Amino acid sequence: MKRSACATAATLLLAALAPLQSWAAPSAPAAGLLERGRQLLEARAGAAASTLGGRIDVHIQDQAAERIAQAPCAPQVFLPPGGRPTGRTSIGLRCAHQPWQIRIPADVALLVAVPVPSRPLPAGTVLRESDWSLAEVNVAAWPRGVATDPRQLEGATVTRPLKAGEPIPPSAVQSRAHLGSGDPVQVVLTGAGFVIKATGRMLHPASPGQSARVQLDSGRTVAGVLREDREIEVNL
């Protein structure tokens, strides 16, 4: 009788442990798959990090291992087409020979040291180096962009109030090399084997790096790119 009771207890214990064992078994494969997904996301965002001198921090949804445990196969990791390199994105898992596929949300932070105002700055402030300090910011969280190069801020004018400690949007400052409509400008016309300099007037406002249309003194209208030296470069 005692043997029968022991056998029954053992059977019940094994039955109780079976679901735990089946759930825990995929934990090691899940960790490997998530690590592979992290590597793929880091590689895709690597170019942006290298350009800005920043670093990547990847976070994958906490419930990922639980969803992977439900896979009817040994899934493969991939990056869904059209995904963003930084910010909110996802990794994908799929079976090679079965119609099973899921996406797992992820967030890729691009952390860059950028200038932030040391104090609130009102519109009209002409920026000096003492007006900002460098702070590490997740630039992916600012879809409208942030100013990353302090050299471009020196002498620029604030066009709308800036909060202390927040990144500076490029649209909130006007470069010292900014030109307005009607401003006189030097134009550099470059063609096959020749360079000609001419003068003209801006037809609309522009800042360095932006395209600009100019009416030359001859009356002809040309389009080019405004440079930091306040000259318009036109390729003919």
- pLDDT tens-digit series, residues 77-113: 999 998 889 999 999 999 999 999 999 999 999 999 9
Burial class (CB in 10 A: 0-12, 13-18, 19+), 25: exposed
| Single pTM value for the model | 0.64
Same fold, 116-174 and 184-235: no
Fold of the domain built from segment(s) 184-235: SH3 type barrels. (2.30.30)
Q: Closest Cα partner for 27 from 53, 58, 64?
A: 64
Between residues 62 and 202, the one the model is more confident about: 202
pLDDT at 29: 82
- pLDDT tens-digit series, residues 192-211: 777 888 899 999 988 777 88
pLDDT confidence band for 52 (50 / 70 / 90) = confident
Q: Closest Cα partner for 157 from 126, 179, 178?
A: 126
Question: What are the structure tokens assigned to 6, written together?
Answer: 């022991």
Q: Is 166's pLDDT higher than 90?
A: yes
Sequence ranges of the domains in the chain: 2-110, 116-174, 184-235
- Phi then psi for residue 204, to 5 deg, are -165, 160
pLDDT at 20: 36
Question: What are the structure tokens assigned to 125, written together?
Answer: 């402030």
CA–CA dist 9, 219 (Å, integer): 99
- Apex CA 188: angle with CA 183 and CA 192, to 5°? 155
pLDDT at 218: 86
- Apex CA 95: angle with CA 92 and CA 96, to 5°? 115
The C-alpha R_g of the chain, in whole angstroms, comes to 29
pLDDT confidence band for 28 (50 / 70 / 90) = low
Tell me the residue type at 175. S
Q: Closest Cα partner for 140 from 114, 168, 167, 111?
A: 111
Tell me the residue type at 169. P
pLDDT at 175: 77
CA–CA dist 217, 232 (Å, integer): 14
Distances, alpha carbon 16 to alpha carbons 66, 95, 172, in Å: 19, 30, 63
CATH of 116-174, one of 3.30.70, 3.90.1210, 1.10.3470, 1.10.150: 3.90.1210
Share of the chain above pLDDT 70, in %: 88
Q: How many CA atoms lie within 13 A of 120 on its CB side?
A: 2
DSSP state of 129: G
